């Protein structure tokens, strides 16, 4: 029986305020000619595993990583874009409904995310902190979710063993594969229902139904080989 559920933040509990995603817009603003999968690894390692005084300093570090001159107008555009996303971001319609349900069911809830420390403003803004029995962010841990230690550390905070938890997230490389490397079953949240991956759900209410029917453990165990994120 599942005793705890670990959630990703962006794209899982919280909807981005801008489209395309702010991470993709960073690549565009910097005019980087490289595959996104190569960009995202380097970007997150620099931007999301350290604590910076402010976004301006964080994006200076990003520019240095990609050998782009940090001109004032570039930094201004990057910071403005990131702040706009934060300003307009909001929980998905079913987020609090599902979190409330899990709390009522006495199921432990964890939160894990690759993110800079600006995430804390949103946690406070939407009153989410009290939902979670364990929280771990990459900027504080000094590592990304691709490192299984991230998942093992959040389990310690939740006082659970890997077999007792399920990871729910929208990224195959970080949420699905990262969790499985730590011995945690994982279920993809594919809101557009476009990715060929199992097991997956298309919204969080489907997760609620699985818990209600006591079918989540069996459902999460039906794993297919990991696939590359498109």
Nearest CA to 94 among 201, 219, 223, 217? 201
Q: How far apart are CA 205 and CA 53, in angstroms?
A: 38
Longest CA–CA span in the chain (Å) reads 55
Q: Domain locations in the chain?
A: 4-15+90-220, 22-88
230 residues of the chain, pLDDT tens digit each: 899 999 999 999 999 999 999 999 999 999 999 999 899 989 999 999 999 999 999 999 999 999 999 999 999 999 999 999 999 999 999 999 999 999 999 999 999 999 999 999 999 999 999 999 999 999 999 999 999 999 999 999 999 999 999 999 999 988 999 999 999 999 999 999 998 889 999 999 999 999 999 999 999 998 655 544 43
Query: Is the pTM of the predicted complex or chain greater than 0.85?
Result: yes
Which residue has tokens 């005084």? 53
Looking at 66-129, list the stretches that DSSP marks H as alpha helix, in order from N- to C-terminal side: 72-88, 95-104, 119-125
The architecture CATH gives domain 4-15+90-220: 3-Layer(aba) Sandwich (3.40)
* Nearest-10 Cα torsion for 117, 123, 124, 127: -170
């Amino acid at each position: 029986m599942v005793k705890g559920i670990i959630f990703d933040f962006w794209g899982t509990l919280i909807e981005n305020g801008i489209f395309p995603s702010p991470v993709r817009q960073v690549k565009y603003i910097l005019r980087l000619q490289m595959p996104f999968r190569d960009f995202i690894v380097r970007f997150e390692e620099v931007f999301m595993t350290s604590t910076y005084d402010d976004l301006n300093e964080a994006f200076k570090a990003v520019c240095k990583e990609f050998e782009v001159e940090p001109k004032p107008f570039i930094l201004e555009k990057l910071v403005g874009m990131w702040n706009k996303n934060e300003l307009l971001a909001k929980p998905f319609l079913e987020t609090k409904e599902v979190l409330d349900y899990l709390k009522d069911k006495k199921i432990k809830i964890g939160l894990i995310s690759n993110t800079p420390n600006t995430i804390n403003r949103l946690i406070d803004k939407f009153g989410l902190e009290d939902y979670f029995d364990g929280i771990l962010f990459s900027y504080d841990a000094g590592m990304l979710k691709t490192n299984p230690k991230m998942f093992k550390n959040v389990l310690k905070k939740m006082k659970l063993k890997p077999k007792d938890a399920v990871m729910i997230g929208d990224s195959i490389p970080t949420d699905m594969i990262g969790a499985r490397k730590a011995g945690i079953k994982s279920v993809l949240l594919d809101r557009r229902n476009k990715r060929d991956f199992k097991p997956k759900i298309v919204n969080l209410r489907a997760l609620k139904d699985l818990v209600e029917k006591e079918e989540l453990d069996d459902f999460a165990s039906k794993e297919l080989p990991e696939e590359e994120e498109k």
